[in-house]
Amino acid sequence: MASTGSPQFLAAAAKEAKLAVQHRKKVLAHVGAQAFSAEEHDKLEPEDWMHTTGRDNFTAAEVQVAKRCHGFHLELLRLDCTPAASHYELIHYDVPVLDPATHVVRLHGLVQQELHLTLEDVRARPSVTAPVLMACAGTGRTLQKKRLWAHVPWGPDSIGCSRWTGCSLTDVLKEAGPLPAGAQVVFTGADKGIEKGEVQYFQRSLSLEDAMRGHVLLCYQMNGQDLTPAHGAPLRIIVPGWYGMASVKWLTSIEVTDGGWWGQQMDAYSFKRTANDPEAVPLQQLPVRALMAPPGCPEFVSRTRVVAPGMERIQGRAWAGAVDLARVEFSSDNGRTWQPAVLGEKNGPFGWAPWHFDWQATEGTYVLCCRAFDVEGRSQESASDEAFNWGSFGSTQPQQVYVKVDKTIDSVGAHIDLTSEQKAAKVALQAEANLCQEYVDALYRAPGSQ
């Protein structure tokens, strides 16, 4: 088994770290808060019908895909490795049922030797096991007030950090021998459906250079177990340090082309100002982010957290793709003031790092937040209702966790009235709830944060 500390893997991570910084600069220059706003979008696309500014008007379509595409259980930020059942899933179409004994991945196109890879073939190759923090491109979609409703309504919870096992895609491509004209690698999954009126298989591409950098894996195991059907069995690729849409599941084809392929999933997963933005920036490497495991105990409906008075250790994880972390900060007053947290080591070049803060909780109501910074100076965005990109992608606005500190939580069978918090979920009942807008936002602007 090759090590994730091997020269090839570490060299790839170092290069990816530099590319991640360049990518973030491009994103912010195009759709960052200083470059573009929801108000400007209104002027460019006044007839747009695919975005909403409501906080309690999730459509039936959003609820449907949310049930199929579940998020991460944030309380498991206390674990170093995410169990498969708690890792986020995004399934565009249906889960293909493929027979591991007969399934074949065809590697073809501009190569010297076409390969037909069975699961047995891939398992026979030298393996690599790596912890990889994966985040969906739509992470934080509901943090964008003017959100795209024709997609999964993610809060900050579309993440997971599991240990993936597979062989090096670089080695497989070298064996096939890309021809001099080869410039792009197109990956096709077995999942078939319709988007924008077009019948298609899920497809994504990488440049040949990106595909052969040395970090991309052709995977067959997750946390030491064979892939489950929903996570791409029997074979998928994992692109460490990139948003999850690049890690194509249920892989059937790897095609080396001369470049220029731009399919639906390339166009859809781009940072845009409008639906047909000629200057779209394709989503690639991950930004920096921190999340906390919501403390205390939740109320079932509103997810209000109730904590007993006293010292409460707030725990979480932070990541920045291949870039190393510099610090994490914690706030108990909704970001008005910040204090340094204790930051641990990443669990791998593309993994995440633990952090904690010992908070002295006293009776009252609080909005807890956290934010991370990496060694390249990248930081999270500030909370904003004017932030906008067309796909509502990649928001890094700080997580908010609404907390009530009440000693009653220590008495099983005691009564704690959280009716106001429940009513605040519906705009029509917010006057009765009598919660300030700051508290309403903390509870419901980002489902999944608690």
Return the HEC string of 393-412.
Answer: CCCCCCCEEEEEECHHHHCC
- Cα separations in angstroms, 354 against 79, 102, 173, 253: 9, 41, 35, 37
Tokens 């918090």 correspond to what residue?
A: 421
Phi, psi angle pair for 326, to nearest 5°:
-100, -50
**What does DSSP say about strands 364-374 and 342-343: parallel, antiparallel, or unpaired?**
unpaired
For residue 70, what are its two tokens? 């579940």
Nearest-angstrom CA–CA distance, 449 and 393:
16
Distance from the first to the final alpha carbon of the chain: 39
| pTM (2 d.p.) | 0.96
Q: How confident is the model at residue 448 (pLDDT cuts 50, 70, 90)?
A: confident
According to the model, what pLDDT value does residue 33 have? 93
> Cα 3 vs. chain centroid, distance in angstroms?
25
CATH 2.60.40.650 residue ranges of the chain are 289-444
Query: How open is the CA angle 202-204-209, to the nearest 5 degrees?
Result: 160
Q: Which CATH architecture has domain 289-444?
A: Sandwich (2.60)
Nearest-angstrom CA–CA distance, 127 and 172:
12
- Is 7-282 a CATH 3.90.420.10 domain? yes
Percent share of the chain, pLDDT over 70: 99
CB atoms within 10 A of CB 428: 8
CATH 3.90.420.10 residue ranges of the chain are 7-282
Nearest-angstrom CA–CA distance, 227 and 243:
19
Residue 392 contacts residue 352 (beta carbons within 8 Å): no
Q: How confident is the model at residue 26 (pLDDT cuts 50, 70, 90)?
A: very high
Averaged pLDDT score across all residues of the chain? 96
Whether residue 54 is predicted with pLDDT greater than 90 in this model: the reply is no
Q: Please compute the mean of the pLDDT values over residues 75-80 and round it to a whole number.
A: 98
